[in-house]
Structure 1
């Protein structure tokens, strides 16, 4: 039963949820340290100053190394879990990323795993003793399941989601639940339950969303491996904003059973669940452990595709050397990315160019505006009736980005069954056209929209000439100021196409070298909004337009965005998730990332 049905105001519900969160953090032993009164904008250095050395060492270790140490008995599950509970609690005090910690459950599980290891002298499974953080709307038995709505607070999960049961079977420990936005449909994380989750690299910026609690927690190393969900960029946006790894898998590879959200059952734009991690290897471990358990035997919606080991998925030449052709999409022809993003792409391309096994080609955008029209029309086929009911039931205010995607979305309306069929047909026509477009880049195949049959005289040669992956921005800028993540196309594009996409850090950060091009003439209103976020960022106040720069207070230093990580996105063909990861492994090896 929700708390609002018991007569509580939305403010009292929020206060109750926040007190519960604070109480769970207070239960952690040793106690989570208090934070300084005056915090710097970049808080990423504080954990190493405030936490014990051994806690810092454990929590800054990659998941694959922790698994190795846990499997040999070098570390105990209890020690690792205690360390992550402390750091997660501190992370929440710094950036507001936790809905609750689970110290009693987590430490009981850790003790059981340690006892098993002591008795059998071996781990219980491939994730033995590894703490994993969980986005709140993924069901856990007897715990709150509100999906960011005040009116849903107090509803409890009746069972653990299938994905959690599979991870549990592999030996995982669940110790932290993370924040998400109202409606789950923001590229930032703000709700009236817990407030705003901010970016640890620069707290005037957003953590991203809707898995922004996960992104901020992983970014602060309060987690090394967490679970997010993605229907328009919700894993990739937070991963990019915090400079960590995040994977949007192809649909129906991982189970979605047991998730709280509106419009459960819609199939025209399918959400996915996937990992965020401090390492690419952590992404691989997560996917392999789940798929190796054949989740399609439990969820008939899933495709029965075993996990293919990376290392032999890229094309090879006659000498047996791996070959990778990367299509570079710098700009979607609608909104030009900010200078740091273009610097990130150009820096990486320069590192890869000239390598004998890698070829770089330009990959022009193909009607990305049409893709947004289709997907933004299909997001709320009921006219957002369920979202409006869930928000209005408690009297809670509408958050600015809830207004953006629902009330200010010109493509959103209640659709008839016939209209859903028509738009779903347009989705499929667009997918076919984009496949044709992809095939045409660097080959003699007909381009998108052209008539004629494919030339099949030399299919192997043509396949060898095709682009393997697309390198592109994750968004039109680095992490934006709060309430300003208004442009989804650089991520939602791949949701419409159902292409797997992985986000990765470049090791670069926004700085004084990133200057706005003041001579640039925007193409349209969306481009103008994004350009002005860049051009006036040093003097940004609240909502764009309240203050503009004058000659007297001109500055070229990007004060608003300073220290924001510069991340990029690699996109593959549908169900080539493993090949996509292998491509990124090669890129990181060559570029020394």
Structure 2
């Protein structure tokens, strides 16, 4: 079959799994007719009970399902309904397995009725998954037409629809109910989610904008309350970008904290910067809940790359003791107002100011963050993604003959020289040297904080814009100019350093406040174009977020810090 026919057949097969009663009237309203589909808009299609359930975060859901106050079946049915609506509005699902999820929920309810106790700490909790996870009886395409009907592009392996990723097994053992897999950009290497199967995944708060990538389907789905919590992956920002664009909390853990075993990936075997798996959700509590759950299964016994680090309550307690002991103890944050490469647009500048004022109002301190050159670090990081000269991704496209989206082809569309072993080794040395210099800079801030400690975390933009505009590349590069990267590097430095990082929603764009800077002077032509791409009218109402960056394996600490700041920001009126 022609790739177009294969893609159309797959798309139709997925859409056919939406029950007739859950289908929206056609035609679906355009973005100009309905820009924001969150909140009351999508709720008009849900029952009062479904609204109550979908507006409850994962912590609240588990509180109800593990005590028998809510049935697992009624919870999963509510989220399946909302997810079906979300997909019709946003193109956010690759795979639907609602029937299997409802059957799993019924079994969970039967277990509870028989034994008087939950299956596990995530009993009855709906969890969505990025389409890198392998789930029994469900296909994994990762957005590639050539992967349809195969196992990662290969036919006849015996693993098709039978193999499950390690974390899938662990989630099931905890009592979670898996119900859908979400959209990704083919290759995974884009801050926008686009492929030839489902087309483009839109931002639920502002459907003129991108949901982010590569975990863009997760961001869109959770952003419209079609899932209470889901898992994405992050090699250059792919959890944090969708979380930020869609107004969510997200966690990028250090590599080796959570299991990645048995997941599909691009450029598998590139080990200079590892992709990591982490959650996105509507609350910090939800992130903590699922991470603690996964770690309780001893994943280091089943994934050779996972470090034996159980959840450490004491790392949270250290932060909480500083904040709550009444002795005047202070936290100190470094504020990165720009990365020396690209300036953030006006809404991001305001968000940083809001966070600084919030920190100071809480009685804590801030210092300006002036680290080693991010430009030099990014040059090291971006080399890792082209070690093989684009051979892996081009082979995946060759399976069907489908074209690359322009967001991808700007970097991977032409074959490039492959790195030699010596060149890879040299880049790894450069990475280690950058990590060392950044470590020593962070250590040196102990003399500036007034707390006798280095800064507790760094506050930084996630991207220079609140969300990407469709095909953001065309705003960053001139016609015919080769793209330097798939997205500006406000997230990638974290991957290079392998730091633990949480996304913190701050505010929304306001066209009357976030006016364009007409006197802007940039670091480069690319920087100037980012500023030019800002349109106050277009961005009005979009989410604005920052990231809270801790050091390696400080997941507990960054979640505690994000929760403290998030609670304070919840009382803030922008």
Unaligned segments of structure 2, at least 5 residues: 151-159, 474-485
Structure 2 CA distance for aligned equivalents of residues 217 and 70 of structure 1: 22
Report the secondary structure of 1:429's partner residue: helix
Kindly indicate whether residue 355 of structure 2 is the aligned counterpart of residue 360 of structure 1.
Answer: no
Q: Is the 8 A contact 1:232 1:488 kept in 2?
A: no
Q: 1:320 to 1:295 in 2, by over 3 A?
A: farther
More displaced 10-residue stretch of structure 1: 336-345 or 18-27 = 18-27
Structure 2 equivalent of residue 127 of structure 1 = 122
Do the aligned partners of 2:244 and 2:503 also contact (CA within 8 Å) in 1? yes
C-alpha separation in 1, matches of 2:59 and 2:244: 21
C-alpha displacement at 1:14, in angstroms?
0.7
The CA distance in 2 between the partners of 1:355 and 1:33, in whole Å, is 46
Tell me how far apart the structure 2 counterparts of residues 302 and 466 of structure 1 sit (CA, whole Å): 27
Q: Are residue 200 (structure 1) and residue 204 (structure 2) matched? A: yes
Q: Distance in 1 between matches of 2:47 and 2:295?
A: 37
Trace 1:32-431 onto structure 2 (pairs within 5 A). 32-34=23-25, 37-38=28-29, 39-44=33-38, 45-155=40-150, 156-309=160-313, 311-314=316-319, 316=322, 323-356=330-363, 358-407=364-413, 413-431=417-435
- Alignment correspondent of 1:13: 6
Which residue number corresponds to residue 23 of structure 1?
16
Measured against aligned partners, the alpha-carbon deviations of 1:514-537 in whole angstroms (never above 9, x if no partner) come to: 111111122212202211101xx3
**1:303 Cα offset (Å):** 0.4
Deviation readout 1:28-72 (Å, 9 max, x if unpaired): xx5344366434111113211122111111111111001001111
Q: Which residue number corresponds to residue 572 of structure 1?
A: 550
User: Conserved in 2, the CA contact under 8 Å of 1:331 and 1:365?
Assistant: no
User: Is the Cα contact below 8 Å between 2:142 and 2:183 reproduced in 1?
Assistant: no
Partner of 2:538, secondary structure, is coil
Q: Separation in 2 of the partners of 1:360 and 1:283?
A: 26
Partner of 1:182: helix, strand, or coil?
A: coil
- In 2, Cα distance between equivalents of 1:84 and 1:34: 19
| CA gap 1:176/1:55 in 2 versus in 1, 3 angstroms | same
- Residue 259 of structure 2 aligns to a residue whose secondary structure is coil
Tell me how far apart the structure 1 counterparts of residues 412 and 377 of structure 2 sit (CA, whole Å): 17
Distance 1:413 1:231, change over 3 A: farther
Counterparts of 2:246 and 2:567, CA distance in 1: 21
**What's the offset of the Cα at 1:499?**
0.4
Change (3 A) 1:321 1:118: farther
CA contact (8 A) 1:326 1:468 kept: yes
Seen in structure 2, the aligned counterparts of structure 1 residues 487 and 525 have a Cα distance that, compared at 3 Å, is farther
Q: TM-score, structure 1 length as denominator?
A: 0.88
1:385-405 CA distances to partner (integer Å, 9 max, x unpaired)?
011111133221121111233
Query: Aligned to 2:44, what secondary structure does the other structure show?
Result: helix
CA distance in 1: counterparts of 2:510 and 2:409, whole angstroms: 29
Does structure 1 retain, via aligned residues, the 8 Å contact 2:22–2:84?
no
Alpha-carbon distance in 2 for matches of 1:157, 1:482: 33
- CA drift at 1:207: 0.4
The alignment covers a number of residue pairs equal to 543
Separation in structure 2 between the aligned mates of residue 20 and residue 383 of structure 1, nearest angstrom: 35
State the distance in 1 between where 2:398 and 2:169 align.
34
Give the Cα separation in 2 of the matches to 1:178 and 1:565: 21
Can you list the C-alpha shifts for 1:265-291, whole angstroms capped at 9, x where unaligned? 221110000000011100001110011
| Cα 1:408–1:442 shift into 2, 3 Å | farther
TM-superposed deviation, 1:238? 0.4
Provide Cα deviations, 1:478-526, integer angstroms capped at 9, x if missing partner.
1121010653310011000000111121133343211111111222122
Query: Would the aligned equivalents of 1:211 and 1:229 in 2 still touch at CA under 8 Å?
Result: yes
- Bigger drift between 269-278 and 513-522 goes to 513-522
SS at match of 2:370: coil
The alpha carbon displacement at 1:462 in A equals 8.8
SS at match of 2:269: coil
Give the deviation of 1:98 after TM superposition: 0.8
What stretches of structure 1 of length at least 5 have no aligned partner?
A: 1-7, 445-460, 538-557
Cα pair 1:479 1:564 within 8 Å, conserved: yes
Distance in 2 separating the partners of 1:196 and 1:70: 35
User: What SS does the corresponding residue of 1:199 show, helix, strand or coil?
Assistant: coil
Structure 1 contact 33–51 (Cα < 8 Å) conserved: no
1:444-498: CA deviation from partner (whole Å, max 9, x where unpaired) = 7xxxxxxxxxxxxxxxx99823101000100001112101065331001100000
Q: Aligned-pair distance for 1:159?
A: 1.3
